[in-house]
């Protein structure tokens, strides 16, 4: 059934606590944890606890959960002090959803990358 845990999914295992992760924030619907191979000083993944293969299928099936991903991404950015500010240390951040293998998606459980803490080039590679 849509949204149900998948036995062969790494991120479902993290949600279940069967694979360890450095969790930085958790809500009723979401888990945010540090990427094991960080590409920036802050590199956090925000995932819905429900299993959907990518963010677009999540949004189509459960739009409120897709919105929650962004809400939690913003809360993580706040926690990590990467929110753009003229007075604080934050310089801004990027929220990335790789969608499809050709775009670099390797884990087929919807997730947002929250990247910040250094200058970020545009366009991305
Ligand atoms: P993507 O390539 O967009 O599908 O992103 C998957 C991300 O998951 C990559 O940035 C990986 O470094 C990260 N990753 C893979 N295994 C783990 C893990 N066990 N804990 C935390 N992050 C992971
Ligand atoms: Zn999953």
The 10s digit of each residue's pLDDT in 106-116 is 999 999 999 99
Residue-level pLDDT at 85: 82
Phi, psi of 60 (to 5 degrees): -65, -40
Residue 123 has pLDDT above 90, yes or no: yes
| Nearest alpha-carbon partner for 46 in 63, 82, 19, 21 | 21
* Mean per-residue pLDDT, 31-57: 98
Q: Does ligand 1 have an atom closer than 6 angstroms to the CB of 99?
A: no
pLDDT in tens, 76-100: 999 999 998 877 767 899 999 999 9
- pLDDT, position 91: 85
* CATH match for 10-116 among 3.40.190.10, 3.40.640.10, 3.30.428.10, 1.10.3720.10: 3.30.428.10
Which candidate, 26, 119, 125, places its Cα nearest to that of 79?
26
* Number of the ligand 1 atom closest to the C-alpha atom of 19: 19
Contact 110, 53 (CB under 8 A): yes
d(CA 72, CA 120): 21
pTM here is: 0.97
CA of 86 to the centre of ligand 1 (A): 32
Establish whether residue 107 lines the binding site of ligand 1, counting it when its CB lies within 6 angstroms of any ligand atom.
yes
Please say if the pLDDT value at position 53 is more than 80: yes
């Amino acid at each position: 059934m849509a949204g149900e845990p998948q036995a062969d999914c790494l991120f479902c295992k993290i949600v279940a606590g069967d694979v360890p992760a450095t969790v930085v924030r958790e809500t009723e619907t979401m888990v945010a944890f540090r990427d094991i191979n960080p590409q920036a000083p802050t590199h956090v993944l925000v995932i819905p606890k429900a299993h959907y293969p990518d963010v677009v299928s999540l949004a189509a099936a459960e739009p409120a959960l897709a919105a929650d991903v962004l809400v939690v991404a913003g809360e993580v950015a706040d926690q990590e002090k990467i929110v753009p500010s003229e007075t604080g240390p934050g310089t801004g951040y990027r929220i990335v959803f790789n969608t499809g293998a050709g775009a670099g998606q390797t884990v087929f459980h919807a997730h947002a990358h929250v990247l910040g803490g250094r200058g970020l080039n545009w366009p991305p590679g």
